[in-house]
Structure 1
Amino acid sequence: MGCATSKQEPYTANAGTEAEYKERFTDSKTLGQGEFGVVKLVTDKSTNIQLASKILNKGFTFKDNELYPPMDAAELKMEIDILKVLNGQAYNLLLESIYESPSKVYVVTEICSGGEMLEYAGNNFKEGLRTEDVSRMAFQLLSAVDHCDRYNILHRDIKPENISEFDEVVHGIMSSICSFIILLFKSNSKDAELRLIDFGCATMDTTKNMTHQTFSGTPFYISPECFQKEYTTKTDVFSVGVVLYVLVAGYPAEQLQAAFNLLHKSKRDLKSLPGMPTDMPETYFDMLDKLLTYRYKVRKSAGDMLEEDDFVLFHQEHGDDVATTTTKMMTKAKSRTSRRASMKRTASIVLSGTGEKAALAFGFTKFARALTTILATMLNHGDIKALLANVDEHLKKDDSLDTKLGVIKVDDLIKILESMGKKDCIAAIDKQKDVDTYKSYNYEYTLLKAFDNKAATDARNAGTGVESSSLKKSSAMGLSARKLTVTGGSSMRKLNMKKSRQAQSVYIRGI
């Protein structure tokens, strides 16, 4: 790997120097790498605390005989500015420090040790989540969103993959990462805290209640008003509702369209959502109904939910020592909890099957990432363009599918690849774990649109020397250029390079 440009303008203000970085930290193992740089485990020499360092190249990079443009400086500055403002409070990711040289940017953050939400739930609650566990996660996630809202920050891509569990003790680090900053970890702590991560699609408003028109996020998790391209910070509240549905019901990959249709109705019976456990308390559905209110102008804010919702506050009855955004909020929460305790509307029970559903959902997440990697590395730009055209044609013939959700059954995708003569691609897919189970599941094919856009953009930029525009802005789904790793070389060589990592995540996120 080499950097084609020796010097670039500063990306960040008030950053430390490369010499200061090397004086303070000792680099350890490489945790992962992508087209923009590498992630290393580092140790602070003075405190012996381990952190994650994302080392980004500022210039064009040669890797595997391919020329990669630098990441967009404005995007990186936005993410850093947001993390600085949030200051690692209220369950948001802590940015520890920033350093910069003429050719690199060093972004140092805390390490999380609980894995993604569904991975964490599947590993630690095999017997099933308890109602207070779901309540605790709801409280912490809403606290993170409320803290963002206080600073007019919209995350715009809240989903289980962008929620990690934090434990002050690092139990172990896997050999690859799901994020340039947040790692895939295993943890034995059932009471680990949440961290809201990946602000690659985020923005920060200058005033309160500004409306936005840019379509951004992951279709299944975003709000109705986002599709209508007029939304505020309350779009994140809707996404929290979808996440808390998926947490207990699993990702409805076989009935994704049905679930999506139900979530986007103004009048609906949330108990009929696919996979919903039969023993969920009424207070859970009351909470869900508030979070998923169709009209955002009457939807509760995250702060409202933290102060008054019975289910969100339920875990506090069981002695959880939780942090709140402000002392005032804690006082109100305790007062409300005391009043609700006499109502006895929520019981502390094990929600049967929830741990298993979370594990199955995370398994499909890994399969979907591997599938995207296979398609992105084995198909050239023309093949991806043709595949997308064929998928669009297939979906037009099925009136039951809503194209704005952007999914196709894995089995139908494989049939299209067969019609295109892509036998090697199909063979690679067939080697994936549990592929027969996942063939009836819905795959988010719109991820591939990013590679279609990216190939054309990179080709232009390589010839002109102009910095790449943000893939997040050029992609119809608002997908950041940091989302996936694509290496150069022949299709077979690229697949071999990925083979050892396909069972793990190759999903590269933002900070």
Structure 2
Amino acid sequence: NSNTPSTTTTNVNVHHNRPSTTTTTTTVTSRKQEGSNYNREKGNINTKNSHQKQQPRSSQQNVVVKPNSRRQSGGVIPCGKRTDFGYDKDFDKRYTIGKLLGHGQFGYTYVATDKSSGDRVAVKKIEKNKMVLPIAVEDVKREVKILKALAGHENVVQFYNSFEDDNYVYIVMELCEGGELLDRILSKKDSRYTEKDAAIVVRQMLKVAAECHLHGLVHRDMKPENFLFKSSKMDSPLKATDFGLSDFIRPGKKFQDIVGSAYYVAPEVLKRRSGPESDVWSIGVITYILLCGRRPFWDKTEDGIFKEVLRNK
């Protein structure tokens, strides 16, 4: 699910009202910030597309720019194996790995238990062997930097610590057990929120966007699947997660790559001139879904969705 060797986006099997999916692939070769020397090679954009119009998207509709995960020829040792991240080295002494929560291109996310306190946490276990290029290492370091920058905000999944050993990087975070916002939407009558309840959710998402933008950061992949509830209680706080596509941007600069999730992507992203405003657009799309129980833009193909976004913006 991301341009980062990240596993935060999980494949959750929900059998009620989820649309079926097919896969299409588009290729993007670079990610850069206009007016700077920021240029990072990327691989494929993988998306899954729905054939039903009346329900919000499942967690598979991702426009994800990923690093090239193929091994380099000639037996070159992957960059991740040659890198000392500077993280603590005693993960196994401090935590016990439990059940699997989900997995992505580069690793897995587990429930884990702190051996000293008994507290349960979420641990993202990222395989160094799959960090072939330096960009993959940079992506992991950037995600940890972002989580640290946002630490303490009530609507962001909390970062606790990062570890490494010879084979893996471990990112220890707050465990959220209330499920995705998407599942809460689908559990509602007609998959709709009341205006009052929707306002509570939207306010929390806007707080996250404001905090990100205050730090010069753009989330770039705001969607119902990337917001988790801390618990199953109806008044549980909402927590933003999956900062794998997130990136810092300098004032006055623009991103020129296309990343995000198809149904939530802003016109500015498709025009390759996007900034913090793209997060606000995505929240607007989520707001529409909360109130109407369906997506504002729909088509059977990724290109069709993009055309709808550009035509009806």
Fold match (TM-score > 0.5) = yes
User: Residue in 1 aligned with 2:140?
Assistant: 76
1:252 and 2:295 matched: yes
Counterpart contact for 1:39–1:53, Cα < 8 Å: yes
In structure 1, C-alpha distance between the alignment counterparts of 2:105 and 2:266, rounded to whole Å? 31
In structure 2, C-alpha distance between the alignment counterparts of 1:71 and 1:214, rounded to whole Å? 15
Which of 1 and 2 has higher RCO (CA within 8 Å, sep 6+)?
2
1:146 and 2:210 matched: yes
The residue identity in structure 2 corresponding to 1:59 is: N
User: Residue in 2 aligned with 1:235?
Assistant: 278
Match for 1:41 among 93, 111, 121? 111
User: Residue in 1 aligned with 2:85?
Assistant: 12
Rate the CA distance shift 1:12–1:250 in 2: closer, same or farther, 3 A.
Answer: farther
Counterpart contact for 2:122–2:173, Cα < 8 Å: yes
Question: Which stretches in structure 1 are left out of the alignment for 5+ residues?
Answer: 62-67, 168-186, 258-367, 369-390, 396-400, 407-511
What secondary structure does 2:206 align onto?
helix
What secondary structure does 1:129 align onto?
coil
Counterpart contact for 1:90–1:143, Cα < 8 Å: no
The residue identity in structure 2 corresponding to 1:241 is: G
Match for 1:190 among 228, 234, 240? 234
1:221 and 2:291 matched: no
What secondary structure does 2:129 align onto?
coil
The residue identity in structure 1 corresponding to 2:200 is: R
Which structure: larger Rg? 1
Question: Which stretches in structure 2 are left out of the alignment for 5+ residues?
Answer: 1-70
Of Structure 1 and Structure 2, the greater helix share is in 1
In structure 2, C-alpha distance between the alignment counterparts of 1:21 and 1:124, rounded to whole Å? 40
Counterpart contact for 1:95–1:110, Cα < 8 Å: yes
Counterpart contact for 2:223–2:264, Cα < 8 Å: yes
Equivalences for residues 37-436 of structure 1 within 5 A: 37-60=107-130, 72-123=136-187, 129-167=193-231, 187=232, 189-205=233-249, 207-252=250-295, 256=298, 401=304, 404=307
In structure 1, C-alpha distance between the alignment counterparts of 2:191 and 2:279, rounded to whole Å? 30
In structure 2, C-alpha distance between the alignment counterparts of 1:193 and 1:73, rounded to whole Å? 32
Counterpart contact for 2:102–2:108, Cα < 8 Å: yes
TM-fit CA distance, 1:252: 3.2
User: Residue in 1 aligned with 2:27?
Assistant: none
TM-fit CA distance, 1:245: 0.5
Rate the CA distance shift 1:127–1:154 in 2: closer, same or farther, 3 A.
Answer: closer
Instruction: Give me the identity figure in percent.
Output: 27
Counterpart contact for 1:100–1:106, Cα < 8 Å: yes
In structure 2, C-alpha distance between the alignment counterparts of 1:403 and 1:159, rounded to whole Å? 16
Counterpart contact for 1:53–1:107, Cα < 8 Å: yes
In structure 2, C-alpha distance between the alignment counterparts of 1:134 and 1:113, rounded to whole Å? 21
User: Residue in 1 aligned with 2:100?
Assistant: 30
* 1:374-410: CA deviation from partner (whole Å, max 9, x where unpaired): xxxxxxxxxxxxxxxxx89xx8xxxxx566469xxxx
What is the RMSD of the two structures over their aligned residues, measured on CA atoms?
3.2
TM-score (norm 2): 0.65
User: Residue in 2 aligned with 1:509?
Assistant: none
In structure 2, C-alpha distance between the alignment counterparts of 1:115 and 1:11, rounded to whole Å? 34
TM-fit CA distance, 1:100: 0.7
TM-fit CA distance, 1:158: 1.0
In structure 2, C-alpha distance between the alignment counterparts of 1:69 and 1:211, rounded to whole Å? 25
Rate the CA distance shift 1:225–1:35 in 2: closer, same or farther, 3 A.
Answer: closer
